[in-house]
Chain A
Amino acid sequence: MIGFISEKLTGYLLKRETICQEEYEIYLFGMAQFFRKILVDATVVFLGILFGKAWEMIIFLIAFRVIRIYAGGYHAVTPFGCYLLTILMLFMVLLSLHFISWNLSILTAVWIFASVLILALAPIEVENRPIEEAERIYYKRKVRVFWILENIAILLCMVLHLRMGAESIVLAQATLGMALLCEKWIHGDVRND
């Protein structure tokens, strides 16, 4: 469906001579990526609203994405598989937020566990996105910068008694850590194969 809409819109741009034939591939790819992102983001916010945890989900989404884009980790084989996995993951996050009593000990334990995984494993390349050595260094630096910024945000949330914010960011880091661990466990690092 998204592929169809993207093809139609990119075809329209080409027909109207807004883009040229050589650029078609770039715009088609970008258009599809944009619509997929919109779909996933809308699902996150929708589920958040449905379960009365919209702010938690928005914070989770931002905290997860800023590191995920540079860290890599587990990926589904198809876009539909990704979407199903995303929904499953969001349910697990919502259940964790609802049923776990996030006292300081649990929060700290999950936080440390997630941080160790992120710092030890990221970035992990995937089959569809191999990375060169220069990129690996660049991504590692980016992951660490955003990890530090998120940790500052977690501490600020705790000081300001915004527990919900701290829980959402820690859960985002934990989910990312698990995605990295899964990729390493299932496929290994493509570079080292």
Chain B
Amino acid sequence: MRKGVVKMVLKKVAYHEAEKSAKIICGWFFYQPKLPNAVKKLRKF
């Protein structure tokens, strides 16, 4: 049960971060990694 919750939280957090990174210019302070093609597709413009 607890493992299932951890897995779901990890999955949600990782997807949310990837989706957010696709929509912004800079992910943290002074570094922006190149977006993988799969992440680029999450951009909605």
A residues touching B (Cβ–Cβ < 8 Å)? 9-10, 12-13, 16, 18-19, 22-23, 25-34, 36-37, 40, 64, 68-76, 78-79, 81-82, 85-86, 89, 123-126, 128-129, 131-132, 134-135, 138-139, 179
| Interface bin, chain B | 20 to 34
Bound complex: CA A58 to CA B35 (Å): 28
- Say whether B25 contacts A72, CB under 8 Å: yes
- Say whether B24 contacts A69, CB under 8 Å: yes
Q: Could you tell me the distance in whole angstroms from the C-beta of B4 to the nearest C-beta in chain A? A: 9
- Say whether A13 contacts B31, CB under 8 Å: no
Chain A residues in 8 Å Cβ range of B29: 40, 64, 68, 82, 85-86, 89
- Say whether A79 contacts B31, CB under 8 Å: yes
Bound complex: CA A124 to CA B31 (Å): 14
Bound complex: CA A143 to CA B43 (Å): 18
Bound complex: CA A36 to CA B33 (Å): 11
A30 in contact with B31 given A68-B26, A69-B26 (CB within 8 Å):
no
A25 in contact with B36 given A30-B14, A139-B25 (CB within 8 Å):
yes
New A-B contacts (18) at CB < 8 Å, excluding given A30-B19, A33-B28, A126-B26? A9-B10, A12-B7, A18-B11, A25-B39, A26-B14, A26-B38, A31-B13, A33-B20, A34-B14, A37-B27, A40-B28, A68-B29, A74-B30, A75-B32, A79-B33, A82-B31, A129-B26, A139-B25
- Say whether A29 contacts B36, CB under 8 Å: yes
